[in-house]
Amino acid sequence: MATISVNMLRSLVDERISIKVSGLPTNSPVTLHLQIKETYGSFSAFGHYMTDEAGRLDLDSSCSVGGTYTGLDSMGLFWSLKQDPSQRTGLRLLRREAEIPLKYQLMALNGHVMWDELAGEQKPNSGHALCSIGLERTYLSDSVERLPIKFGRLRGALFKPRSQRSCPPVIDLFGTGGGLMEHRSALLAKEGFSVLALAYFNYEDLPKELHEIDMDYFEEAVDFMLASPYSRLGPEGGLGLIGVSAGADIVANAAILFGKKIRAVAWLNGNRCRSWFPVRYRARWLPNHFPMNVALVKPSDRSDGLYSREACCSGCTEAQELPVEKSTCRFLFLSSLDDYSMPVDTGARLAARIRRSNGQRRVDHVAYPGAGHLLEPPISPCTPLCYHGLYGLNMDYGGNSKQHHEAQVDSWCRIIQLFREELDPVSARL
């Protein structure tokens, strides 16, 4: 009888697990099919393998010769997940609530079964099925606690290691999808940080829609974290910020406006102008916001999404770019070069501004060929086409699965290293 064995039936989404199958036909073609069904849609991945002379597969040493990924990678089935073709387009596999695990079904099938049979209207012939097993992947480690935050205007959730009362503080921001996104914060907390996942619209009693960027709100969040008993400040004080897309615009603005309160910023695929939206700080409107030029938004030539790269900050001159050189913190700019929703040269341009202003100041810029807009923690699948709630349409976010996966592994290590070196320098040297 064929049997699938996994060293961890419940694991964290960024953990590598070991998958083995025994009792299979010897020297024969076998398909492993991974599927997850969510309320909004289902996602699948599969690999084609050949068993050894003992009828075994070990994904640590068995290569996939076809399917959603090829080659040797024990986690290939997870990072190559894609939405089933029978679903509406633009779906993104994501769990906003870190406490709720993702539940997968892994099945071994006889022969090399193709995608249209696995995920289409057809179903695998009952003679194909050999064995199956259920798996759970979660963002929230048992070593991390979640604390809901409702303080003044602030709304969000704070994640911190249970074993430590205070840790280096970080604030985590996402973009125009709105609501509260907890998954990245929970995984960062596992690495020894006190992380505030901060909502700023479309959550609880916050504004339902985003019409402006109120930087006073974000400074309140910074001050809250700096004064929190859960925050352990380094010798230089200050905290870290991480933001993607419109969240990257906000953290860059914060670094410019809030001075030494900000020690480190991880910037992922943002704009070079101040924002698409009007930005207000201390009762005044700040210059150089550029609304998206809808005339330059056009259908993508490679998907049924929209190509908006040229529409972002259209008309913004070098003099009107974000003056990141006025900040005092260390920046890590991360750019995805296959991002069709944002200008891909922005990170390089902003990093160059800092270097020209102060050649001695450390600034890092990393560009990732083949990576798409939505850089997530490791082993998360690529989302090349995603529904954009603000515009009510699918956006071409780009990326191919393997290069996007490699970019996520590398960028995650760099983000953690940045925060350790700038917020907890003593521990970083140990």
Nearest of 70, 67, 64, 59 to residue 4 by alpha carbon? 59
- The reported pTM is 0.95
Nearest of 172, 67, 77 to residue 117 by alpha carbon? 67
For residues 324 and 252, the answer to whether their CB atoms sit within 8 Å is yes
In this model, does residue 196 exceed pLDDT 50? yes
- The SS3 assignment for 4 reads strand
- Mean pLDDT value across residues 414-421: 98
DSSP class of 231: B
Q: What pLDDT shows up at residue 429? A: 67
Q: Which of 19-28, 130-139, 380-389 has the lowest mean pLDDT?
A: 380-389
User: How far, in Å, CA of 241 to CA of 419, rounded?
Assistant: 9
Query: Which domains, from first to last, does the chain contain?
Result: 3-138 (2.60.40.2240), 144-429 (3.40.50.1820)
Q: What pLDDT shows up at residue 430? A: 60
In this model, does residue 348 exceed pLDDT 90? yes
- The SS3 assignment for 294 reads helix
Residues forming the active site: 245, 339, 373
pLDDT digits (tens, 9 = 90+) for 133-191: 999 999 999 999 999 999 999 999 999 999 999 999 999 999 988 999 999 999 999 99
Q: Which of 90-99, 115-124, 258-267 has the lowest mean pLDDT?
A: 115-124
- pLDDT interval class at 121 (50, 70, 90): very low
In this model, does residue 317 exceed pLDDT 60? yes
Average pLDDT, the chain: 93
- The SS3 assignment for 105 reads strand
CA distances from 157 to 99, 132, 149, 189, 415 (A): 11, 36, 5, 12, 20
User: How far, in Å, CA of 412 to CA of 118, rounded?
Assistant: 32
Residues in CB range of 423: below 8 A, 6 or more apart: 168, 169, 170, 193, 234, 238, 239, 240, 263, 264
Residues in CB range of 289: below 8 A, 6 or more apart: 273, 274, 275, 276, 277, 278, 279
Q: What are phi and psi of 224, to 5 degrees?
A: -60, -45
Q: Which of 5-9, 355-359, 407-411 has the lowest mean pLDDT?
A: 355-359
